[in-house]
Amino acid sequence: MLFVSPDYRKTTSWMGPKAEADLVQIIDELKARFRIGKVILCGGSMGGSSALTFAAMHPERIDGVASMNGTANHLEYENFQDAIAESFGGTKAKIPQEYKKRSAEYWPERLTMPVGISVGGKDDVVPPGSVIRLAGILKKLQPNVLLIIRPQRDTRPITRTAKRYSNSSSAKPGSKRRASSVVAHMDRKPCATPR
């Protein structure tokens, strides 16, 4: 089993077309290099949104998805619009179909793999409404859905941590770190990270 939590070429990737192509390539390269049985995609905040987006767009490549504090609807989401527009190739007013295509809430029937979602009820950076609605629909379609709602939790510390990381010297703008996010192979063999 392979857990993938990609570190994209930019801190504003939001699973736009370039990030999507990168992740397809990462998964294909790792499957070609290692004996991979299952791929679980996980992420928090922007990464949680991206995990849901990728799983809905490529369900044949993903065996499970865990989204922590993400959004499932880019058409209604209002924060980080400059970054999302850069990633998606335009604003939602100009290319609404691209935003819809990348919104997992519109494609619940594609999420046939196990799905875990956690949200903070007081999160105003990434409001939980769309993923709560998505989880409700998914629970009617399949049994392997876990929704954890922490009603008193504010997830803004995650966003602050991400901002600190993106401003640190270890984050190099424009760098492409392939497969640096391989966490573990669950077959008890040592974790190998291709460079």
Domains for the chain: give ranges and CATH numbers.
Answer: 2-166 (3.40.50.1820)
Q: What is the pLDDT of residue 123?
A: 83
How far apart CA 113 and CA 192 sit, in angstroms, is 25
Q: What is the pLDDT of residue 177?
A: 34
For residue 87, the tally of other CB atoms under 10 A from its CB is 23
Q: In what order do the strands lie in the sheet with 145-150?
A: 2-4, 39-44, 64-68, 115-120, 145-150
**Amino acid letter, 111:** L
Predicted TM-score (pTM) of the model is 0.78
Q: What is the pLDDT of residue 7?
A: 66
The per-residue b/e assignment along 15-39, b for 16 or more CB within 10 angstroms, e otherwise, is bbeebbebbeebbeebeeebebeeb
Q: What is the pLDDT of residue 183?
A: 32
**Which candidate, 65, 76, 74, places its Cα nearest to that of 112?**
65
How far apart CA 55 and CA 152 sit, in angstroms, is 28
pLDDT string in tens for the chain (195-residue length): 556 566 666 767 789 999 999 999 999 999 999 888 889 998 889 889 999 999 999 999 999 999 999 999 999 999 999 999 999 999 999 999 999 999 999 999 999 999 999 998 888 889 999 999 999 999 999 999 999 998 876 555 544 444 443 344 433 444 333 332 333 322 323 333 333
How far apart CA 118 and CA 21 sit, in angstroms, is 26
